[in-house]
Amino acid sequence: MRQPADKPRSEIPREAAALARLAAPIALAQLGMMALGVVDMMMVGHLSKLALASVSLGHAYTFGLMILGMGALFVLDPLISQAHGARDTRGIAAAMQRGIVLALLLSVPFGVLFHATRPLLEFLADQPEAVPVAHAYAKIIAYGLPAFFIFVVFKQSLQAMSIVRPVMIAVVLGNAANVFLNLGFIYGRFGLPALGAVGSAWATTLCRYFMVVCIVLFGFGALRRVWVRPARVMSNIMVGLQAFLGIIGSLTLLIGGIGVANIMYAVVKEKTREIGVQMALEVWVFLGASFLCVRMGIVEMGGHTIALNLSSVSFMVPIGIGAAGATRTGNAIGRGDAAAARRSALTALFLGASVMLVSAVLFTFAPRFLARLYTSDAEVIAMAAALLPIAGLFQVFDGTQAVACGVLRGAGETRLPLMINLLGYWLLGLPAGIFLAFALDLGPRGLWWGLTVGLMACAALLVLAVRRRLGVRFPPAGQAANP
């Protein structure tokens, strides 16, 4: 890459404005996607604390697997952003088409796992009364897997080209439909059958197909411009199949089998697997904490669910900033501008840490108000209120590590975040949480303090990785290493 001189620091505010313009709609789109689950939890939570715990258990299992496939599809970020920066229309089309093949293939094994979930839930949860609804929830969610993965393909593709309006429209309309369908399927409004807690799964599944229709409809013009007719249909199918085998190999490796190497095509090699596993490991550590909490009791699971759900909502903002950072950094690398790549990375990191201070303050000073949005049960509210201030503390570190991962993804670096994630969460955070929760008898608070320690370690190491990869200086210096 060419090495132009860094521009004056006055360019930083301009870069911050550009990042904010791109990140804001992405964050809103992410919040819109997360809002589907938030509304489900809020509406189910007012049925009973058992209903809240049951749906939380089903969601933890299904989303814990879906994140592996979704993370694999995030490989589109560096591929499409760099191809877009280089004005390579065929490269954009090939990546998108292969992503669709992978999305359809991923739906099959995950659907099988969702239908065969009951024995595992009975083993993990140790709460027999919550398992039947959780199992029914997982089976219904399985029917929406193709729509979920295909939506991710179109969303990541459009975002990597800095086109976010169709995504925003799709999630806004999807959330409006979700509220309507939840009222119908949970409570029996509008002439629909009252299905109780599992009704939220039907609402979510139908909304996912509706959102695919919306994003294709409103993004048709942008997609048509880059959708060149595939010259090698079988080649695209085979590459998608290779990526699929890599993901299945990674899943097998994680549960004690042998992984399948050489995924995606030569340009990205194992990046699909690495991004998918990295995101899965990050989510799984929190879902592992959920399974530990449900073993402590229904009240503990309810409080933990509320704290985790609210944390996930605020986490969507740095996810948006990280995606914007990935796009801006990838575009700069694609056009050979090293200084712009450094500037984008530094600015994104600063924005990510700053915005999370807002949610940290809110979680610390208004925990009971937030908990009452989900339930009227006094015991669950008290448990959530005890956990939210701890969640507020790790928000800043969580935002920083999320943005750093996005920047590194835009630069094409995927293996190092995976290793840092494994170290910070699984070798440090979760063991510390288990020790505090059970050995020191701190319960769910101990788990959250342990996760906070893991987040601190991940954030620090990932920021150092960004500095090493892009030559970022804090504050930026005149000449830096070439990314």
Instruction: Profile the chain (483 residues) by mean pLDDT over runs of 10 residues.
Output: 48 78 76 78 82 82 77 72 73 79 85 84 70 89 93 86 84 91 91 89 93 92 71 52 51 38 36 57 76 80 85 83 83 77 84 85 91 87 92 86 86 80 88 92 92 91 86 49 37
Distance CA 55, CA 387 (A): 20
Answer for the pair 129, 47: CB distance below 8 angstroms, yes or no: no
Which residue range is the domain that position 261 belongs to? 11-470
Answer whether residue 245 is part of any domain.
yes
Tokens at residue 393, please? 């503390």
Tokens at residue 207, please? 């909304």
**Among residues 222, 94, 205, which one has the least CA distance to residue 169?**
222
Answer whether residue 422 is part of any domain.
yes
- What's residue 60's pLDDT? 77
Answer whether residue 6 is part of any domain.
no
Q: How many distinct structural domains can be found in the chain? A: 1
Helix, strand, coil tally for the chain in percent (to 5): 80, 0, 20
How many alpha carbons lie under 13 Å from residue 98 in its C-beta half-sphere?
Answer: 30
Answer whether residue 233 is part of any domain.
yes
| pTM, rounded to two decimals | 0.71
**Among residues 49, 71, 234, which one has the least CA distance to residue 148?**
71
Torsion, Cα 112 247 37 382, to 10 degrees, reads 100
Q: Where are the alpha helices (DSSP H) in 335-377?
A: 338-365, 367-372
Distance CA 89, CA 91 (A): 5
Strand (E) positions, 105-169? none
- What's residue 277's pLDDT? 61
Answer whether residue 4 is part of any domain.
no
Number of H helices and E strands in the chain, helices first, is 19, 0
Q: Where are the alpha helices (DSSP H) in 161-262?
A: 165-187, 199-218, 220-226, 233-254
Answer whether residue 475 is part of any domain.
no
Tokens at residue 327, please? 């796009």
Answer whether residue 420 is part of any domain.
yes
Answer whether residue 427 is part of any domain.
yes
Cα angle: 237, vertex 65, 181; to 5 degrees: 95
| H-helix or E-strand spanning residue 70 | helix 49-73
